[in-house]
């Protein structure tokens, strides 16, 4: 197997029952006696991070760490693809070697970059691409079927979905949006 700088590779773990490690090849170096070494940056799986795996972490989620290493090229088992989060959610078929990365991870401190993530639904959870979600046609927010009282089957058959907040504001659509950034809502009309 040949690999190039920039490739993402699966590396054999020291214990056989563990999932392969994922790394990005940064440099390939020929050592003595025909041995090839690869300089790698490790991708961490959520369970390998300090905070552990959380509910919004997808099964194919990886964090690009700041942890570098030099490994024997022999430990490379194969190549894989680490997609951006956006591209991953657009994949029609997720293969066994497709992963995604939306956070960088500082191995020493356990800090994530970015340290904020957009949240969706009434439950205010970051998007987990493994979970089915339905988008409201109006506010464009995403919802878990269970959080809005739908089954997965109903969601798949739904042509358009409008969340309860939007469907109730349709009835009183006389409201014009007001900027809330100042923290103060100024009445539009002040009649005496």
> Alpha-carbon distance 74 to 35, whole Å?
9
Q: Is 121 a binder of Zn ion (CB under 5 A)?
A: yes
Closer residue to Zn ion, CB minimum distance, 29 or 165: 165
Nearest distance from C-beta of residue 37 to Zn ion, angstroms: 47
> Alpha-carbon distance 158 to 94, whole Å?
24
Closer residue to Zn ion, CB minimum distance, 10 or 134: 134
The total number of residues shown for the chain amounts to: 192
Contact 7, 24 (CB under 8 A): yes
Q: Is 148 a binder of Zn ion (CB under 5 A)?
A: no
Q: Is 123 a binder of Zn ion (CB under 5 A)?
A: yes
Nearest distance from C-beta of residue 179 to Zn ion, angstroms: 20
Residues 6+ apart with CB under 8 A from 123: 144, 147
Q: Which of 40, 62, 144, 161 binds Zn ion (CB under 5 A)?
A: 144
Contact 30, 36 (CB under 8 A): yes
Partnered with residue 42 across adjacent β-strands are: 23
Closer residue to Zn ion, CB minimum distance, 121 or 134: 121
In 3D space, the residue among 62, 109, 67, 106 whose CA is nearest the CA of residue 85 turns out to be: 62
Q: Is 139 a binder of Zn ion (CB under 5 A)?
A: yes
Q: Which of 36, 75, 138, 169 binds Zn ion (CB under 5 A)?
A: 138
Residues of span 158-177 touching Zn ion by CB under 5 A: 163, 166
Residues that bind Zn ion (CB under 5 A): 121, 123, 136, 138-139, 144, 147, 163, 166
């Amino acid at each position: 197997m040949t690999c190039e700088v920039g490739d993402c590779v699966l590396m054999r773990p020291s214990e056989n029952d563990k999932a392969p490690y994922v790394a990005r090849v940064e440099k390939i170096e020929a050592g003595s006696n025909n041995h090839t070494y690869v300089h790698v940056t490790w991708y961490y799986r959520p369970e390998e991070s300090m905070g552990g795996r959380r509910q919004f972490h997808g099964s194919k989620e990886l964090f690009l760490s700041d942890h570098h290493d030099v490994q024997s090229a022999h430990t490379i088992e194969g190549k894989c693809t680490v997609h951006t989060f956006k591209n991953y959610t657009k994949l029609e078929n997720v293969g066994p070697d497709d992963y995604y990365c939306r956070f960088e991870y500082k191995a020493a401190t356990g800090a994530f970059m970015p340290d904020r993530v957009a949240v969706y639904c009434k439950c205010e959870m970051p998007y987990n691409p493994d979970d089915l979600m339905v988008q409201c046609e109006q506010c464009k927010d995403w919802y878990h079927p269970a959080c809005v009282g739908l089954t997965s089957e109903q969601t798949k058959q739904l042509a358009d979905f409008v969340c309860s907040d939007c469907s109730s504001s349709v009835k009183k659509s006389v409201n014009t949006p007001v900027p809330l950034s100042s923290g103060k809502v100024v009445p539009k009309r002040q009649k005496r």
